[in-house]
Structure 1
Amino acid sequence: MIMNDRELKRYFNVARNVIIVGYGEITLKSHKVRLRMERTLIDNMIRQLKKEGIKVREINKEGGRIFICTDNDEKAVKVLTKVFGIVFVARSLEVTLDMEEIEKEVRRYSKDVLANVKTFAIRAHRANKKFPVNSMEIARILGKAILDENKHLKVNLENPEREIFIEIRQRGAYVYHEKHKGPGGLPYGVEGKIIALMSGGMDSTIAAWMMMKRGCRIVPVHYDLSPYVNEKARERIINVLKWLKEWIPDKEIRAIVIPLSIAHERTMGVIDERYRCLFCKTMMYLVAQEIAREVGAKAIVTGESLGQVASQTLDNLYVLSRRVKIPILRPLIGYDKGEIMEMARKLGVYEISGIKVTCNLVPTHPETHCREENFLAELNKIDLKRIIEELMNKRRIIRI
């Protein structure tokens, strides 16, 4: 009989390194939906690891956990913490399902991970109910073994300096001490496509990321307003797209660039300048709606936050939203600027997206509480359909 690497190690009671991936919300779904999402999650994991040059040697799934062996565990953990749907990642030691073997390996394991602390706690979970020792007894046995091996230690269940986790599963026992937090949410792509309006600024970047976390595959659309914006605008959107690419399993991210400055050139002096920001946003919505029809997207996502700027008052958002039939998602609508900035810092995109870009099109006195009939009267002065067609015909693609 020929045995594989896993079977050989089990046969000879040899522990091996395995990465544990925990996921949460997916487990609450119906059986059919859960299976579909788990398949997508595993596929996304493998693709993101492969994109970073990491080889997956083995992967298994069991009860809200995915167990994965790679050729570079340290790098793999960093990659997996940016896979949507994952709650945590941990490098673990897989031990055969034998209490004596588990105790032996935990004794050895504790010498390294508890060497520089004074207090610890064992967190045992027996998911495999066929294992003859229950969770409390596992924790007691292993706690005593660690105390015997490390005389300087004390148990502190309330506030330990370090925790050692033991999970008893069908395939083996898994020992680990450090959980690396993942983004959570749903696997990328399970909810379909959306059009992400992206200036490259903080708000639109975080809004896109939040919808990606909810399982949406984004089609980024950037509106080029040069020469009315400074040169930093292009640098900012390129860097933001590179950052977003780290979170998706695709080899490249494709953004559609619309030369929106053309729309302003065609309407300068025709539309009352008080409505210029509203006109600009209307064009963004209408063009995004056309792109959505082409690519099969079901919604538009924007970084709008209620009352933050002139075009984002409730009155103006009401008027703007009525210009399109497609749903507009605004995940930041209830966030203030400080909260958005804090989120950007935590995600590591604050410096990139926080680059200041000025726009010379903003009027001195923009309309903040627009009446729909007045705005429609302004739009009736121009040929909207013709302008949209021109913008669509002159779009270009950025590949990152």
Structure 2
Amino acid sequence: MCLYLLRYSEIFLKSEAVRRRWENALIFNIRNALPECRVKRERGRIWLDGVSNPDKLKRLFGIISFSKCKYCMLKDLNSFVLDFCDEIAIERARTFAVRVKRVGTHEFTSPQKVAELGSLVLNKFKDFNLKVDLKSPEKTLFVEIRNEDCYLFDDVVKGAGGIPLGVEGKLLALFSGGIDSPVAAWFMMKRGCRVIPIYFDNTPFSDESSLRRAKRVAEILKEYQPDFEIRVEDGGNFLIRAKEVLRKDGIENYTCILCKRQMYRVAERIAKEEGAKGIVTGEAIGQVASQTLDNLLVLDEACSLPVYRPLIGLDKIEIERIAKEIGTFEASIFPASSCSAVPDKPTTKAKLDKVLEAEKEVLSSLSW
């Protein structure tokens, strides 16, 4: 009998009511991703039987790690351990260790069972010069004893961690498909938020290659959130008029500020329609001109909803490392056009009064 043992961390720390609700959400997400599997729940553990694609478990938020394991009854454990050691070719290792965890009442302690099983293994494989190393063994045999049930495994696979997708509600994400915005969206998924991505089409200042890139990245994030569907909104008409007004007023270096504030306003409107509780962006302090503290302050004034910036304290190298880990990096660097509306020297210290005056003229002419 082959099972998968799933472990979670934060769920276990919650109150009974919250823990039960989050467990139910995690199991719901598991069944959506792996409808063929059968699920059994115990406190601190979830067991799956009939898993056809275990790689999907790596992308389910709320699972900190998982292991493929074998089951036996406690009365059969000693002989089963030896058969399991044959199966995993433990004799190819130079050193090994046995780790035992128990739940329930038994006539032995965990250290006693470790010593007993270790001696059995040493005796069977005495001709292979196998030795015990409790600090850094080449091979580890894990045994979980839960009352009269036993589970054996030799590998622990890292999961996505976090908390179950959806338990914290919905957020709207500004999503360009570059390196930063997908990582920001992923971080909020990891914290239990279902994310709705919004892409702004800035034609004629960009072309379809940017949208194609965003869609490529979105397909990867669907592995973490299956309903991650890009919503495309027009940004070009506003940007055309904004460039005209700013050029006339001699402050064309404010272009990116006005553009981003418009994105915030549109995102806020859609968020309220969708029942979302805030907006997510990939902004990090000082990374580009529009992301200085002065400019972020001006940007936030355009929106009454909370703006979440999970990358705010990270540098580019850290963000790229995470993008590679979650699988979005290669798609994010796929060739795409850059926005040609960006001025040569964007302002890093935007003044709110200038912004509001320019926006008033732009928005009135567009009937916003």
Equivalent residue number for residue 354 of structure 2: 374
For residues 211-235 of structure 1, what are the alpha-carbon distances to aligned partners after superposition, in whole Å with 9 as ceiling and x for unaligned?
0000000111111123312442122
- Report the 3-state secondary structure (helix = DSSP H, G, I; strand = E; otherwise coil) of the residue aligned with 1:81: helix
Deviations 1:152-178 (A, max 9, x none): 211000110111111111461110011
Q: CA deviation at 1:381?
A: 1.9
Q: Distance in 1 between matches of 2:367 and 2:218?
A: 27
Q: TM-score w.r.t. structure 1 length?
A: 0.87
Distance 1:327 1:253 in 2: 21
CA contact (8 A) 1:111 1:150 kept: no
Code of the aligned partner of 2:7: G
Report what 1:131 is aligned to. 106
How has the CA–CA distance of structure 1 residues 175 and 385 changed in structure 2, closer, same or farther, with 3 Å as cutoff? farther
SS of 2:210's equivalent? helix
Structure 2 equivalent of residue 87 of structure 1: 64
Runs (5+) with no aligned partner, structure 1: 1-15, 389-400
Aligned partner of 1:49 in structure 2 is 34
Partner of 1:393: none
Which residues of 2 match residues 239-318 of structure 1 at below 5 A? 239-248=216-225, 250=226, 252-271=227-246, 272-318=251-297
Matched length: 360
**Counterpart contact for 2:257–2:295, Cα < 8 Å:** yes
Query: What is the SS of the residue equivalent to 1:383?
Result: helix
Contact 1:20 1:66 in 2 (8 A): yes
CA–CA separation in structure 2 for the residues paired with 1:132 and 1:259: 70
Contact 1:125-1:166 at 8 Å conserved across structures: yes
Of residues 122, 144, 148, the one that matches 1:167 is 144
Amino acid at match of 1:263: F
Q: CA deviation at 1:82?
A: 0.7
Aligned counterpart, 1:322: 301
Amino acid at match of 2:12: T
Q: Alpha-carbon deviation of 1:354?
A: 2.0
Distance 1:143 1:220, change over 3 A: same
Runs of 4+ in 1 over 3 A off after TM superposition: 384-388
Which residue of 2 is the match for residue 27 of structure 1?
12
Distance 1:258 1:355 in 2: 22
Q: Which residue is 1:359 aligned to? A: 339
Change in CA separation of 1:334 and 1:356 when aligned onto 2, cut-off 3 Å: farther
Identical-residue share of aligned pairs (%): 38
**So what's the TM-score if we normalise by structure 2?**
0.94
The residue type equivalent to 1:193 in the other structure is K
- In structure 2, what is the equivalent of residue 110 of structure 1? 85
Structure 1 374/256 Cα, relative in aligned 2: closer, same or farther at 3 Å? Answer: same
The alignment partner of 1:254 has SS state of coil
Once residues 262 and 221 of structure 1 are traced to their aligned partners in structure 2, the CA distance between those partners, rounded to angstroms, is 17
Amino acid at match of 2:80: E
Structure 2 residues not aligned, in runs of 5+ = none
Aligned to 1:13: none
Cα distance change of structure 1 residues 360 and 259 upon mapping to structure 2, 3 Å threshold: same
Instruction: Tell me how far apart the structure 2 counterparts of residues 387 and 196 of structure 1 sit (CA, whole Å).
Output: 25
Equivalent position of 1:394 in the other structure: none
Shift of 1:359: 1.3
- Is the contact between residue 34 and residue 51 of structure 2 (CA under 8 Å) also seen in structure 1? no
Partner SS for 2:277? coil
Aligned partners of 1:340 and 1:331: how far apart in 2?
11
C-alpha distance in 2, partners of 1:185/1:142? Answer: 35
Task: Give the counterpart letter for 1:312 in structure 2.
Answer: Q
With over 3 angstroms needed to count, the CA separation of the structure-2 counterparts of 1:384 and 1:66, relative to structure 1, is farther
Q: Which residue of 1 aligns with 2:124?
A: 149
| 2:204 paired residue among 217, 227, 249 | 227
Could you tell me which amino acid in structure 1 is paired with residue 15 of structure 2?
A: S
